[in-house]
Amino acid sequence: MGSEFVIRIAGEAVYTVLKASAPMLLLGLVVGLIVSIFQATTQIQEQTLAFVPKIVAVLLGLLVFGPWILTTLVDFTYNVFDNLYKFIG
């Protein structure tokens, strides 16, 4: 197993993790920004007001993007095993 192979698989793994987590991270960022603007406008400094909407948004995003994320992770796993099989066999 060459070092180029391992580095390529590691790079693909990092890219896959970033691609799979991006929708939830972006939703959390957008909702957090909206809640922060709302809190600054109304001068309400309640901690749960900043925390609960982000959790709800991320969970809804997971429900919406879950099948796509699962497909992305399964494709990556299939490619890793396929490459290992080709390399070994």
Q: Please check the confidence at residue 20 and state whether its pLDDT lies above 90.
A: yes
End-to-end CA distance of the chain: 12
- If pLDDT is split at 50, 70 and 90, which confidence band does 3 have? confident
Residue 54: closest CA among 43, 72, 38, 70:
38
**Is residue 8 left, alpha or beta, with left meaning phi > 0 and alpha meaning psi from -120 to 50?**
alpha
User: pTM for the whole thing?
Assistant: 0.79
What's the pLDDT score for residue 1? 65
Start-end of H helices in the chain: 3-42, 47-88
What's the pLDDT score for residue 29? 95
**CA dist., res. 6 & res. 84, Å (int):** 10
The string of pLDDT tens digits covering residues 26-78 is: 999 999 999 999 988 988 888 778 889 999 999 999 999 999 999 999 999 99
